[in-house]
Structure 1
């Protein structure tokens, strides 16, 4: 499927449109289009302007077209849009006279079915090629779901499936939609409840492909090719014998609709036909942002030209890299955290409380250069600290919250700094922590320096916002920390190489990266570093930090605005990239695709732990 800004066209796996000469030797292709509200929009946008097709006069008749929609209105709009688009294309490539003479090969009855595409039997809607079904219906829009469908004009051929299913993450699905996925995945995989709704279309197409020669392509949110979606969803798809034969990497969705979808999507084509070329499409890094096509040996589930391997969470980093861990969790200790203004008032009331107050950083506080404050009290100092009324009052609130949590009475908001709503489960851990209400759940502090890595950051920044904190600063659980880590670790995290790895294997939260230490850092493949390598990277990290400080008091958000990034900071990152990339291949990488190819090559070699990566058995045989 080739998606353009204002239309769609069905293509053969070789890249030619369904109108090309390829179809002549395959008989007429049966085009199944299991749609949704999204597909309706695609179809509508095909109507105003014909899609540029292969510039040849010969055509292959698209007589066997099917569309499935859950709503009558969408089905009617889609049918009209397809009719208009087909006529426009015929006028453009065959002339008005020929177009009128052979008006609409899509006029066969019963080619639109109204129903839930994930509940319907696709084999009954579009039987395997070569199957003859004689019964026809007259009512195009209210045909019973169990009614026999259109009979084929040609036997043999190949089925093409395309669509633009709904974009619904796991937390936005209704109970009915969860049940739709459960009917498909329950018993096949364990963690299916975390999958996006679009996953159902992929598994339906893959299952359909076990019965007939099929190529299917869907526009989908890019999350299905990232993070935990890959090890959960794609091994099941590959096990059916389907492979990714073409794909377009992530791009921002843009159409002519009045309510633009505003999401980042991918296009993924799967097929069970062996011997097809593998083609990977991506938007170039040039100013023109043209679409580039590359023929590759294989496309894995991350849409990278590399072996089929699923990156899974690892408990420890590779190659002896420095561990990264969560910050300190207040655990129903929100009263231990307060604003700088409140800190000022506390010190004004009890000057001795100043020694127990520390700067408090999470992701937002670091990126916006706006730390809050917190009490940091050791067990040894607890008695002395509790003599101060401002501290004693807040500690009493924490103790009450943790005791209430044990009984399931407190609100989730008290657990940290967000959330809300009443807890329904008792929390035994809270009871134990209630005995030390002056403490965070974790009480970890560095002796020399702390590297902080935000858990959430915008994908629009060219580099991940990693930073260095003084040893007395407290990192909270909404950020990761590397305590007493060498400075060269910061250079690795601040590199473009690490950015593309995180963008590929970690989860997205809308247009933000959701960083993971177990999935992003512990799996990141780094060659063995010599002492000289570490010294060079340390200097690069220092240059980056000095360039930032030269623009004080600018925040990380301001400094890493892609349109306003200072030249000296950008140059410092460029030098860092060059030093690190030369360690990998002896030169700079040409683009992000080449970076990912090398990273996956190294990961495949280095991931010796069965829990870190596992090959798809079905794809290993291909």
Structure 2
């Protein structure tokens, strides 16, 4: 996208002011010459209007009109122009004023109406107009599509809204700071700010109907620093009271305010005296144009109110609009847009689509600040508006509507609105985000009505509020969702439930989880899976669609079988999935980074599932493909559930956790080595000590391995005596009774699993960027720590299998992860590895290749494993030896497709064959 510097900006605005739009678009912005003759329209009530095309690009035409009529006339003319030019930018411009009506097709359907109708005054610097023109500048060697061009416009509008959002967040933070100085309790502060946000938004979005800046004027003229707290409470009381029931003195300045209803101003609020700084901050906030802000960001602004520790304890995360669209798009919204495209020239199909929009219900059972509901409502109202506009165009083409009808606005659009706020439902356990959700949905409804008015000249008057979303202040895992909205094929469930892991869940959360699953014992399930259980119970045998943003663990490791078994048995399929990606919340302060997956379900056979995959780390742009099937591990592979196994299902050696010292005194650091080695007795029992860091980074550490050493020999060594006594003292001070008992044998490691002879050493976590698992193979003179796994491996066969692409692909396909890095599990991805039984010949080939890998490693003595296995620096010779090892292992498996997904499909099929079942 092009940029425009300050000099160019001034020159471009000079051309805009001169109304030489042909020069602007063709010479400055790189558009093409016009391809359509002028058009004239004669409106019965307003005379003739002529439009001249000044430029175009791939079907999008720029039209100018030399006068600036009122907005109602503009709408009528734009509708008539639409019969000849579907994609258009219309500029009404006289000597002083201009109004730019930007393209409105579905690519920009969710954009604020104020951003779509853009006023400009001659001689006034208009940076937002310059920014938009920069977005649609086409360089000489550019060949952008029309869709890309519209996307550029949308991005420019979004950038304006985002800039405004940053300013709004600062204003909100300043207000809250002043409330803290006034000692206003947190709950009262959030309620107060929600109300003030509503009022400021009403000022800027014509909610008061012909009384702009009503609240701001009241603040300036009828409040003081000393009385603001009581003045606001009095105003809130009036706003919550029907005009017919008010008891106000004659001449009260409060009589001009309309009855709001909707519950926002109903609850009593007691405020202490507020600081003078608060009133100043509030007046400053009222000078800001709040109508430019997407209500979807209101929750993000209010996160500054809630305590960070409480937010972590609750497991809450707040979803960005981008990730919301990743969820609702493939779940239902994209299909509705496809139906609109298919019905574009068929009025009966458009009517059917419109009726289906009216039947749709959306529920978020962990709604937080309502972001999912807000974006879903905004997008569905935008889609409905496209349907209404297209029906109007078809009516005009058929002669069913006249120019006079357009001016009078007789198109009964108000009664034709079928997407309603009371079709949107939320469940939220915390009062303050529930309050924000309710408020923000009311505001996004008003914005949608403003867009409607821009197109048709009419929109519903929502005051007093009679239709509102149903936000239930309850624990979603403790209520029957049928009481929120009865299940039907028209109900869509979306959300971003709390992420607390199995080990981090509180006792209350674990009890909620057991209740949701109706089980007394749960092995591995994270707290988020309670929402999956409730969705299964809610729908029963009813068709439906549902999708959750969850930690990537829902499709990895041990919990998959426990979670997905009931889902599959209930007849659900994966409609779409985003594999693991890094997801940044909009929380204040440090942005929370979580690795998540998004999974959507239905019981249909079409459309074909969509699968999004991400580059290592989950930060790079995704790739989406239509696939035949998506299994519980979010792979286009057979549906197989891998279970934990206490013993290997193949002839691999048994793996054990390394040795646990439970005493710092038995471990020797590099700084301590010389002192210990100087003792001739202690030196005999020094062993290399390997944990993950020592294995991968080459850090050196030792331990005292005193198995079988007589006590008299220990007593003869000052170093051993001191360290063994230190071990005894450490263990006696432990809170764990089991550790205190080990004080009777202070010279021994608490847990000893060291195999005799050569040992295979396996790190607990690998990097997803590595092509191979960086395992180690050592003679029997090393001791492994409890931070790695180990196994007896006399001939390096185990080393060869675990060093192969086959095993790495298995880990990455079904195993658990730490963030996005594959995690080794003894009972899961190791014991469940479906390794065929090797005859003497294939085994010898794998052993020979494994030894070749070890010899090649030895050629780089100064390079630790983490360096050798860094994909960017892996030596060519080592990569070649791994390729030969892969050949040998793949031959054992009889591999035909050596891609990662090919191997994963084969492994899952072999696992099913070995276990005799897929579920």
* Aligned residue in 2 for 1:384: 713
Aligned partners of 1:487 and 1:541 also within 8 Å:
yes
Equivalent in 482, 486, 506 of residue 127 of structure 1: 486
Equivalent in 463, 483, 489 of residue 798 of structure 2: 489
Aligned partners of 1:454 and 1:478 also within 8 Å:
yes
Aligned partners of 2:331 and 2:546 also within 8 Å:
no
* Aligned residue in 2 for 1:210: 540
Equivalent in 585, 590, 593 of residue 901 of structure 2: 593
Instruction: Count residues in correspondence.
Output: 554
Matched, 1:267 2:598: yes
Q: 5+ residue gaps in structure 2?
A: 1-318, 341-351, 392-416
Equivalent in 890, 894, 916 of residue 581 of structure 1: 890
* Aligned residue in 1 for 2:690: 361
Deviation digits for residues 341-388 of structure 1, max 9, x if unmatched? Answer: 32310222x223211111111122212212311112232555334321
Deviation digits for residues 441-490 of structure 1, max 9, x if unmatched? Answer: 45555554211001233444333221112320111222111223322321
* Aligned residue in 2 for 1:165: 497
Aligned partners of 1:6 and 1:255 also within 8 Å:
no
CA 1:159–1:368: 2 relative to 1, 3 Å:
same
Per the TM alignment, residue 573 of structure 1 is displaced from its structure 2 partner at its CA by 3.4
CA 1:460–1:74: 2 relative to 1, 3 Å:
farther
Equivalent in 2, 10, 29 of residue 360 of structure 2: 29
Aligned partners of 1:248 and 1:282 also within 8 Å:
yes
Q: Distance in 1 between matches of 2:577 and 2:540?
A: 21
Matched, 1:394 2:717: no
SS at match of 2:475: coil
Equivalent in 495, 514, 517 of residue 182 of structure 1: 514
Aligned partners of 1:91 and 1:99 also within 8 Å:
no
Correspondences of 1:24-63 after superposition (within 5 Å): 24=353, 28-37=359-368, 40=370, 57=387, 61-63=418-420
Q: 5+ residue gaps in structure 1?
A: 130-156, 405-409, 412-421, 609-613, 617-622
Aligned partners of 1:445 and 1:472 also within 8 Å:
no
Equivalent in 554, 562, 577 of residue 247 of structure 1: 577
Aligned partners of 2:581 and 2:597 also within 8 Å:
yes
Q: Distance in 2 between matches of 1:109 and 1:296?
A: 41
Correspondences of 1:335-374 after superposition (within 5 Å): 335-348=665-678, 350-374=679-703
Deviates more, 1:456-465 or 1:106-115: 106-115
* Aligned residue in 1 for 2:429: 70
* Bigger relative CO (Cα 8 Å, ≥ 6 apart): 1
Q: Distance in 1 between matches of 2:718 and 2:806?
A: 51
Matched, 1:478 2:787: yes
Aligned partners of 2:614 and 2:622 also within 8 Å:
yes
Deviates more, 1:353-362 or 1:392-401: 392-401
Which of the pair is proportionally richer in helix? Answer: 2
Per the TM alignment, residue 263 of structure 1 is displaced from its structure 2 partner at its CA by 1.4
Deviation digits for residues 407-462 of structure 1, max 9, x if unmatched? Answer: xxx32xxxxxxxxxx33xx32x864x555432234555555421100123344433
CA 1:543–1:90: 2 relative to 1, 3 Å:
farther
Aligned partners of 1:317 and 1:521 also within 8 Å:
yes
Per the TM alignment, residue 86 of structure 1 is displaced from its structure 2 partner at its CA by 7.6
Matched, 1:328 2:328: no
Aligned partners of 2:766 and 2:774 also within 8 Å:
yes
CA 1:103–1:236: 2 relative to 1, 3 Å:
farther
Q: Distance in 2 between matches of 1:95 and 1:537?
A: 73
Q: Distance in 1 between matches of 2:689 and 2:382?
A: 57
* Aligned residue in 1 for 2:609: 279
The structure with more radius of gyration = 2
Equivalent in 815, 835, 848 of residue 506 of structure 1: 815
Q: Distance in 1 between matches of 2:710 and 2:381?
A: 73
Aligned partners of 2:327 and 2:600 also within 8 Å:
no
* Aligned residue in 2 for 1:143: none
TM-score where L is the length of structure 1: 0.77
Deviation digits for residues 198-227 of structure 1, max 9, x if unmatched? Answer: 111111111101164321100100112222
Aligned partners of 1:386 and 1:392 also within 8 Å:
yes
TM-score where L is the length of structure 2: 0.54
Aligned partners of 2:367 and 2:426 also within 8 Å:
no
Correspondences of 1:440-451 after superposition (within 5 Å): 440-441=749-750, 443=752, 445=754, 448-451=757-760
CA 1:8–1:383: 2 relative to 1, 3 Å:
same
SS at match of 1:217: strand
* Aligned residue in 1 for 2:634: 303
* Aligned residue in 2 for 1:113: 472
Aligned partners of 1:578 and 1:588 also within 8 Å:
no
* Aligned residue in 2 for 1:375: 704
* Aligned residue in 1 for 2:281: none
Q: Distance in 1 between matches of 2:676 and 2:824?
A: 35
Aligned partners of 1:6 and 1:49 also within 8 Å:
no
